Amino acid sequence: MSAHDAGSVWLNKRIYEDAEIQHYENLAKAALTPLAGEVAKARQRLIESRDTFTANIESIDTGAIKFMEKKIVEFGKSIDAILKLLKSLDARVVSLEKSNNQDKTVNAINVASVHKQTQKHADEEENDDDVDLFGSESEDDEAAAQVREERLKAYEAKKSKKPALIAKSNVILDIKPWDDETDMKAMEENVRKIEMDGLLWGAAKLVPLAYGIHKLQISCVVEDDKVSIDLLTEQLEQLEEFVQSVDIAAFNKI
């Protein structure tokens, strides 16, 4: 091989290598082109997803959220109102218990008074029994008979001066209205207008029940032979404008 041929070979080899490099570069570009397209598509999808997410956020109903917040606040206020009502009812129950205790004290005083009066009458009867209707025997029968007669007259005179014992009772009535709008003052006035022979009205007071409603608690003294409690109750219930019901809270003999 001549020197010219040898140089030509090396020159052709270089051309061959350049051609080979170009070939592989073309292959690489051909391979990268689809990948670049996929990357571009992925990027586009990301952009679209971002826009969709933004649109969804903007489409959220803020009015509904505000409505729910308002309902939550109202619910909290309702709970507070219920708690206040429970505290008020608890205070009223305590008040009713105190009132019942006071009524029991009054009844105990009445019972003690009746017992005292009964003991007084018993003592008087015992003193009457102490009168000796039959004195010691005397030798003079006539004088003894005269003494007995005088003692009998004295005993009959003492008995005749004693007033007849009238059976009486102390009654406490609970008169309930229809609602909290009932005029309780007018109710009491109409109750006291009821008159019977042997009926004497006493003290009265308003006792709380619930929800602003009060009952009228009034006492009276009745003569048992003249006044029927059932008849009195019926007359009270005839005050239909004011009275819903009548109950006997206490009944004590005097």
Q: Does 243 fall in a domain? A: yes
Instruction: Check whether residue 154 and residue 231 sit in a common domain.
Output: no
Residue type, 179: D
Q: How far apart are CA 240 and CA 182, in angstroms?
A: 11
- Region 38-63: what's the mean pLDDT? 64
Instruction: Check whether residue 177 and residue 234 sit in a common domain.
Output: yes
Q: Does 182 fall in a domain? A: yes
Q: Does 114 fall in a domain? A: no
**Exposure b/e, 176-195, CB count within 10 A at least 16 = b:** bbeeeebebeebbeebeeee
Instruction: Check whether residue 241 and residue 200 sit in a common domain.
Output: yes
Instruction: Check whether residue 179 and residue 143 sit in a common domain.
Output: no
173: pLDDT strictly greater than 90: yes
Q: Which run of H or E residues covers position 154?
A: helix 141-161
How would residue 4 be classed by pLDDT, with cut points 50, 70 and 90? very low
Instruction: Check whether residue 175 and residue 215 sit in a common domain.
Output: yes
Q: How far apart are CA 44 and CA 39, in angstroms?
A: 9
Q: How far apart are CA 137 and CA 135, in angstroms?
A: 6
Q: Does 144 fall in a domain? A: yes
Count of structural domains, the chain = 2
Higher pLDDT residue, 5 or 200?
A: 200
Beta partners for residue 207, in sequence order: 215
CA 162 and chain centroid, separation: 55
pLDDT in tens, 189-241: 999 999 999 999 999 999 998 888 999 999 999 998 889 999 999 999 999 99
Q: Does 122 fall in a domain? A: no
pLDDT on residue 79: 84
Count Cα atoms within 13 angstroms, Cβ side, for 141: 0
Q: Which run of H or E residues covers position 41?
A: helix 3-58
Q: Does 105 fall in a domain? A: no
pLDDT in tens, 78-128: 888 888 888 877 777 777 777 666 666 655 565 556 556 656 655 655 555
9: pLDDT strictly greater than 50: no
Instruction: Check whether residue 195 and residue 156 sit in a common domain.
Output: no
Instruction: Check whether residue 233 and residue 244 sit in a common domain.
Output: yes
Count Cα atoms within 13 angstroms, Cβ side, for 73: 6
Instruction: Check whether residue 156 and residue 179 sit in a common domain.
Output: no
Q: Does 97 fall in a domain? A: no
Instruction: Check whether residue 157 and residue 181 sit in a common domain.
Output: no
Instruction: Check whether residue 231 and residue 198 sit in a common domain.
Output: yes
Q: How far apart are CA 199 and CA 229, in angstroms?
A: 10
Other C-beta atoms within 10 Å of 26: how many? 10
Q: Assign residue 173 the CATH number of its domain.
A: 3.30.70.60
pLDDT in tens, 217-227: 999 999 988 89
Q: Does 175 fall in a domain? A: yes
Q: Domain limits at 139?
A: 132-165
Higher pLDDT residue, 28 or 98?
A: 98
Instruction: Check whether residue 234 and residue 213 sit in a common domain.
Output: yes
Q: How far apart are CA 79 and CA 102, in angstroms?
A: 35
Q: How far apart are CA 89 and CA 211, in angstroms?
A: 8
Higher pLDDT residue, 130 or 18?
A: 18
Q: How far apart are CA 50 and CA 90, in angstroms?
A: 60
- Strand order of the β-sheet with 243-253 is 199-210, 213-223, 168-177, 243-253
Higher pLDDT residue, 83 or 244?
A: 244
Residue type, 157: A
pLDDT on residue 111: 56
